[in-house]
Structure 1
Amino acid sequence: MSWYVNQMEQIKLTDMKNRYPGWIWNRSDTHTFLAVPGTHEAYKTVVEPGNTFSPGPATYGVSVWLYDEKLHTVEEMKLEEFKTSFKYCKVPILVSKYRMQDFEIQSEIFADGSIEDYNFMDYFRVRVTNKGDVSRKVHIYVVLRSFGASGGPIRDIKCGDQAVLINGNKQFYFNTVPDRFGAVSLEEDLTDVGEVLKQGAFPEKSSAADKTGWCSGVLDYAVELETGKSAVYDFVCHLHGGHPNLYWQTEPAIPFNYDLVEKEFINKWESMITFDLNLPSGDFSNAAYYNLIHLYMFTVANAPRTTPYTYPMCWFRDGSYQIVAMDKGGLHDFAEKACLLAQKKDFTTGFGSEADTIGEYIWMMDTHFQLTQNYEFLKTVWDSICEKAELLIEAMQTRKPIISYSEMITHEHSIRPDVQVVAGPNIDGLIAGRMDHHYPLYFVNAFAYAGLSSAARMGHILNDERAARFQEYADILRSRMLEQADEKFCSNERDTFCAFWPTYWADKNKESILKGYEDYWYSKWNIDGKQVHEPLWTYFEVGDAHNRMILGQKKRGWAILEHYLKNHTFPGLYTHNEGDRDENSVLLIWEKCRGWDKNTTTTPTGWTAAELFLLLRDCLIREENGQLIIGEGIPDEWLKEDFSVRNLSSSFGAVSFHYSAAEKMFTVTTEHAPDNIRTPLEQIKIISQREG
């Protein structure tokens, strides 16, 4: 048996659950991540419902429980009992509110720190309020265990003057000294702290040790609360505090001013997320903000992540969407660094060398240039764009397979014989590109067309003679796709995902394409008059909705969009899933943790987050052929009241607009004048003005 198997803490957790089924185990039903943008996976905090969390992978679990003649735990509550949100729509302070008998618990957690100093903290506040009619005594337990959202072995635990020491290092700091601290060791006591507390008892020991790593501890705050009164406690987790290779780290100052730290954190995030949505639908606005924020928190250095832990790499297909979403969300500095980094990588996906990434790379570069008009950037990346465009032309013509070697491949697929295949011999002049372990012709060729046409556009701007060649082959490819659409379009579920947006190869007037969308609607999304939704690959459904908005099928687009606004894998956070397990894991990070052992799905998925943000953005403003389109996806019921958008990034600079219901009119402000501004909304006027 491999040495590595012994490092699989999920296996040990499963074994322990079988041996001790009565313990209060981790939830493992859903989660999200909080992090300082750009930090490594080791600094991504996992949070489950009730704000039970782990400050990084394979660390420890933190939970808040109450005891008032009976033990109340977040792990045993139903998902629908929690109300979860960001405290402020643009700021990832995660708030969880719930009731335990007569007590309301509201906890807040956020991740902050300095990339420059490489020193990071999780700030945690717990507020317990008596909502009953009489004064009540209660024990507020803050429980630290070796399992949780993403736990790891605790071999020793004890409480110091300012912090709980875990595995010999100060990890969990408190502003208020607990009334008492108790610790339990499975090796010495044959139990877990939860079992002791369930009996109405309290651990007798103040420290514990266990060579197998199953220690647990509890801070007890005993308080009597009059009706309507609250008790508030502030904590800070020093992520990987005391690690010998991070010797420069400074400990948090205790006591600390939570309100001051929070204020500085709010200012920091509000300076990064600079657009404002004042819309009739709070779900619409929150989904846009929350998904963009998640994408940014997922980033590692200058690269996106589809989701932390499962995908510790820039999976470039998903990554291109994520970078474009962050770019259109105004995070241009990050997007530019990510684009420059992408120059050094080819076909970076966990499935090996995949053909669609070539066109996606060029599309991403073109989008960034259009948004920023940064000519120095364009000159820097132009040679790499030309190399990719020439590779697309080669793939259109090749009669032999195109092979490229890729190092980062998922464990599951690492020994497949086809992982180095970019494309096979062309099929009827179309690129036979490999993607998702097969050859989806129209998906791959759609992005090839987008890449070639984008390369041509950028080449014309630079007065490069190669632009004409790229445009010629883009036109040839599109012509072939249209000619063969009657037979081949919609033979793959990916086809409706990208035919109009973002690749724009399809023709709204071609009957076979419209019929393809029509047939797919009734075979996939609306079966026997009942709306159904994608359980696994959610980004394909959201992308289909995006294309239907452009086709003028707004009602159908909203039938999908409304589902994603109202149903989330972590209720209240607008996050969504892909797959039905920890699928496509690259480095088996979850398997090294005592948490997420049910592995019901991969969540949150950044590809869906990116596509959802981009769909919401395009419902408000969209560019096409030099035009600015306002309100393409705005539902008619919104038009009964005033609303506004400020400072959305576009290829015309910052775009703002105000809608007046009384005048049935948009007043639109842009930095740079489009060729035309229009709205598909009937009987709605537009007044246009330049910023300044």
Structure 2
Amino acid sequence: MNGSLMLTAYQVCPYAMYGALALAVPPVIAIPRGRWRWTFAVAALLIVAGSAFAARILIVHRIGEGRLAVLLAMKARPNDPWPRGSGHVPLGAFGAAESRKGWLEPGGSFSPAAGTFGISLWVVAPDGALITTSDSIPLEQTRSRYTGSSGIAVDTPYYTATWTVRPEGGFKLALNVKPSADYHIEVAFRGVGPAGGPLTDIVAGTDGLRLAGRWTISPAARLTFLGEEGEPGWTRPNAPLASAAHSVSGWAAARVAAPAGETFIVTVSDPSGWQSITSLLGSGPMMRGLDPVFTASLRSQIETLLQGLVGQETRPGDPLNYPLQWQRDGAYVIVALARAGQIELAERLATRTSREDFFGGFGAEADAPGLALWALGEVSALGTAPDWPDVERKVALIEQMLHATSDFRHDFSGPAVPAHRGNPELTLVAGPSRDGLINGRMDWHRPVFFVNAVSYAGLIDAVRIANRLGHTAQAVAWTKDAEALRRSWQAAFVDPARAPDAADDRTAISGLWPADIASPPAFDERLERRWHEPSGHPLWTYFTIAEAHQWLRLGRPDRVWQTLDWLWTQQPQPGLFTLWEGSGEENGFGLWKTFRGWVRPEHVTPHYWSAGEMLLLQLAMLAETHRGQDSDELVIGAGVPAIWLSREIAVSGVGTAHGFVDWTWNGAEVSVTIHGPPLPVRLGQAFPAGTKVVVTIK
């Protein structure tokens, strides 16, 4: 049953109950008088009434009490303003708990924490008529940007609203109204919003407003409404007579007018304060002379990833949709942050990845040991090595899967996605190996080429860690295992019997990046066919971006740019370059349905595997090491278009598998500084033939 039908059914249930009771009376009267007449009567009435009541309870459980309250109100008051319900992003102190993060939607509407209230901006005509709100300004007329220091500014034709985190707790709104005699702006406080909740009490005082007995809104400003939503004329300015509003149903509301000609500062104070991981943050890459959209996207991915952290945990996406850490998504987030200069933070985030072997919403999956080793190796190339016993244990798991003769099962830690709880396959990691390849489970099926590609990548990084720590014998043995796996992978890839496996979407996201396991000619042919297949609107943007990374490795930056340009036109919140996953509440835990906001989600957004892939791709377009048959090489500017070379370029602090890299272009030569071991250097194809390259090793 879809949401609309369920909503109608909920409304009809009481009438169905009363009607059924009325219909039940005549048969009861017809029962002959006697000992059991009224027993049968009561039983019949309870059955009829109970069925309708049970149906109503079921609908509340399915839709959610908070979500249902909003949907019913929207149906009862269709002409009132309502939240946009799309493109939201969290905002808070880095590492804040998911329950403490604020939520911002395009246009500037905001909730200071999940289940609190909504703050929206109303554009009001001189005669009091409502022109539009922050929730209804067309999406293409809004533009958001991270401002640093945990802030987001939202530009619209009517105002610029900048929300920032207050170190002592809560948030600050700086509202700059664009001069016009045609409107003024009112700040509305309601029991609905991006992540709202019932708002039962609002008290106006000399120093501002107090909401729900906890939140303080200051300073005091001219009230244009204080009362309950739904009252006649409530959307028009009307100076209140009372100093407080109470609503049993949670629809108390207030609005204040922003003064014209000055920045209106609104402080939303929360006495409980913040716990933050800001002390772990490092400086990110420095870029000069690049396309401003490219630079804005790259910087936005870093901020998006930081805002998604909960304590010292990564999350796959929207932290309220995913209240758990997932090993696969986390590996990409950790590597992305490390390569973006957040070394200390990445090392801290990798702690669980190192110590635990299987965790995530789908249980114990076969790609976990390989991706964990890859992440640990990539982070250690830029920082410190992981604990050696953890590395040995994860390699042993890969070898156990490679030589399995029966089903291999393993416990996992953390919760499973509710829809899959109790599934016996949660502990099934892999079946018997075949043709020298792991027959592993991932995403509830057996994507053999993906699982083995990331296992190979993990073995290669384990070899690097072993060499670094002086474990020569293990490095030699694991190198042989990795080479055997690579040969098996390449042989299977061209085997016609394996064609269905090769066609799996996950094959196309792992062959060259991040694994360097595929033979480029055969892999190129497979990707070429996929490029010309109709694809429609992608559900899994991390797949889309990772496949573009394969094209970068194949020397087709034109296809990389086609992908980026398209994704940048589809941003859920324009200007923040956020991405999405799935359709509806993918793998959700049902938390959002308890709040008064996000009532009809199109997808999960932001998504942090996608942000990690995007950040890694953009960094690779500037500098990336490629693994070759005989030795690795550093490729500078593989994604740099020729038009950028008309100006000087300076890039520093780009992390690679061999250390950080800086480089400059002065119009004639490229100067490269490698903060690590020496490597052969190759320039991207946009640089003129014969360009001089000067390499410095530090």
State the 1:313 CA deviation.
1.6
Kept in 2: contact 1:349–1:408 (CA 8 A): yes
Match of 1:424 in 2: 431
Quick one: distance in 2 between partners of 1:172 and 1:5? Answer: 34
- CA deviation after TM superposition for structure 1 residue 547, in Å: 0.8
Q: Distance in 2 between matches of 1:53 and 1:421?
A: 43
| Equivalent position of 2:130 in the other structure | 71
| Equivalent residue in structure 2 for 1:564, among 549, 563, 567 | 567
Q: SS where residue 50 of structure 1 aligns? A: coil
Structure 1 residue 5: deviation in Å?
6.8
Query: 1:363-406 CA deviation, whole Å, 9 max, x = no partner?
Result: 0000011112x2xx43xx21111111111111111122122233
Aligned to 2:494: 486
The Cα of 1:426 is off from its aligned counterpart by 1.7
Q: CA deviation at 1:97?
A: 1.9
1:337 aligns with 348
Aligned residue among 73, 77, 101 for 1:44? 101
CA-to-aligned-CA distance 1:506-557 (integer Å, 9 cap, x gap): 122xx4333212212222xxx4xxxx55421011111011011111122222
Matched residue, 1:261: none
Give 1:629 shift: 1.4
Distance in 2 separating the partners of 1:362 and 1:651: 13
Which of 165, 180, 194 is the aligned partner of 1:111?
A: 165
* 1:160-175 superposed matches below 5 A: 160-169=205-214, 171-175=215-219
AA partner of residue 103 (structure 2): V
Q: Which residue is equivalent to 1:614?
A: 616
Q: Name the counterpart of 1:183.
A: 226
Q: Deviations over 1:597-656 (max 9, x none)?
A: 111111111111110110000000002344321011111222222222123234554422
Q: Does 1:648 align with 2:654?
A: yes
Larger-gyration structure (1/2): 2
Shift of 1:42: 1.5
Does structure 1 conserve the Cα–Cα contact (< 8 Å) formed by 2:143 and 2:573? no
Residue in structure 1 matched with residue 238 of structure 2 by the alignment: 201
Distance 1:571 1:419, change over 3 A: same
Query: In structure 2, do the counterparts of structure 1 residues 163 and 423 end up closer, same or farther at CA, with 3 Å as the change threshold?
Result: farther
2:248 to 197, 211, 219: 211
CA shift in 2, pair 1:555/1:76, >3 Å:
closer
Distance in 2 between residues matched to 1:498 and 1:5, nearest whole Å: 38
Alignment of 1:143-292 (within 5 A): 143-169=188-214, 171-175=215-219, 177-180=220-223, 182-185=225-228, 191=230, 196-221=233-258, 223=259, 225=260, 230-239=261-270, 241=271, 246=272, 272-292=282-302
The answer as to whether partners of 2:224 and 2:238 remain within 8 angstroms in 1 is no
In the other structure, the counterpart of 1:660 is: 666
Aligned counterparts, 1:6-45, within 5 A? 8-45=65-102
Q: Which AA in structure 1 matches 2:170?
A: M
Q: Deviations over 1:330-360 (max 9, x none)?
A: 0111111111232333321111111111100
2:659/2:675 contact within 8 Å kept: yes
CA contact (8 A) 1:129 1:231 kept: no
After superposition, residues 530-679 of structure 1 pair within 5 angstroms as 534-586=537-589, 588-625=590-627, 626-661=632-667, 663=668, 665-679=669-683
Q: Which runs of 4+ in 1 moved over 6 A?
A: 2-7, 268-271
Kindly tell me: are residues 404 and 205 of structure 1, through their superposed partners in 2, closer, same or farther at Cα, counting changes over 3 Å? Answer: farther
Give the 3-state SS of the residue equivalent to 1:151 in structure 2: coil
Unaligned ranges ≥5, structure 1 = 114-118, 251-264
State the SS of the aligned residue for 2:465: helix
Instruction: Output the CA distance in 1 between the equivalents of 2:451 and 2:122.
Output: 51
Distance 1:112 1:199 in 2: 32
Is 1:453 aligned to 2:460, yes or no?
yes
What residue in structure 2 maps to residue 434 of structure 1?
A: 441
> Larger strand proportion, structure 1 or 2?
1
**More displaced 10-residue stretch of structure 1: 441-450 or 676-685:** 676-685
- Classify the secondary structure of the residue corresponding to 1:607: helix
Q: Which piece of structure 1 moves more, 121-130 or 177-186?
A: 177-186
SS of alignment partner, residue 96 of structure 2: coil
* Residue 420 of structure 2 corresponds to residue 413 of structure 1: yes
Please give the alpha-carbon distance, in whole angstroms, between the structure 1 residues aligned to 2:166 and 2:353: 27
CA distance in 2, matches of 1:519, 1:63: 48
- Shift in alpha-carbon separation, 1:390–1:652, aligned structure 2, 3 A: closer
| Aligned counterparts of 1:270 and 1:107: Cα–Cα separation in 2 | 29
Please tell me whether the aligned partners of residues 9 and 592 of structure 1 are also in contact (alpha carbons under 8 angstroms).
yes
Superposition deviation, residue 160 in structure 1: 2.5
Range with bigger deviation, 497-506 or 466-475:
466-475
Q: CA deviation at 1:137?
A: 8.1
The 1-side partners of 2:63 and 2:359 are apart by 30
TM-score, normalisation: structure 1:
0.85
SS of equivalent to 1:130: coil
- The separation in 2 between residues aligned to 1:610 and 1:236, in whole angstroms, is 33
Pair 1:276–1:440, CA change in 2 (3 A): same
CA–CA distance in structure 2, aligned partners of residues 561 and 66 of structure 1: 34
SS at match of 2:93: coil
Residue type matched to 1:556 in 2?
R
Return the match for 1:326 from 328, 337, 341.
337
Code of the residue aligned with 1:584 in structure 2: it is N
SS in 2 for 1:494: helix
What's the CA shift for 1:583?
A: 1.0
**Do the aligned residues in 1 keep the contact of 2:224 with 2:237 (CA within 8 Å)?**
no
Q: Partner amino acid for 1:111? A: V
C-alpha change, 1:674 and 1:161, in structure 2 (3 Å) is farther
**Letter in structure 2 aligned against 1:76:** S
1:43 match: secondary structure = coil
Matched residue pairs, number? 623
Give the whole-Å Cα distance in 2 for the aligned partners of 1:360 and 1:299.
Answer: 19
Aligned partners of 2:225 and 2:237 also within 8 Å: no
Alpha-carbon distance in 2 for matches of 1:466, 1:8: 57
One-letter amino acid matched to 2:513: W
Query: Cα distance 1:180–1:522, how it changes in 2: closer, same or farther (>3 A)?
Result: closer
Match for residue 450 of structure 2? 443
Which secondary structure state, in structure 2, belongs to the residue aligned with residue 657 of structure 1? strand
Identify the match of residue 80 of structure 1 among 128, 140, 145: 140
User: Are 1:394 and 2:451 counterparts?
Assistant: no
| Change beyond 3 A, Cα 1:672–1:498 | same
AA aligned opposite 1:576: L
Counterpart code for 1:687: V
Shift of 1:56: 1.4
Distance change >3 Å, CA 429–CA 363, structure 1 → 2: same
2: CA distance between counterparts of 1:209 and 1:201?
17
Per the alignment, in what secondary structure is the counterpart of residue 438 of structure 1? coil
- What residue is the counterpart of 1:262 in the other structure? none
Q: Which residue of 2 aligns with 1:260?
A: none
| SS of equivalent residue, structure 1 residue 576 | coil
The residue type paired with residue 563 of structure 2 is I
Matched AA of 1:165:
R
Could you tell me whether the CA contact under 8 Å between 1:450 and 1:503 is conserved in 2?
yes
Distance in 2 separating the partners of 1:650 and 1:395: 29
- Offset at 1:111? 2.0
Return the offset for 1:138: 5.4
The offset of 1:439, in angstroms, is 0.7
Letter in 2 for 1:615: L
Query: Equivalent residue of 1:51, what SS?
Result: coil
| 8 Å contact kept, 1:65–1:140 | yes
Distance (Å, rounded) in 1 between the aligned partners of 2:382 and 2:123: 51
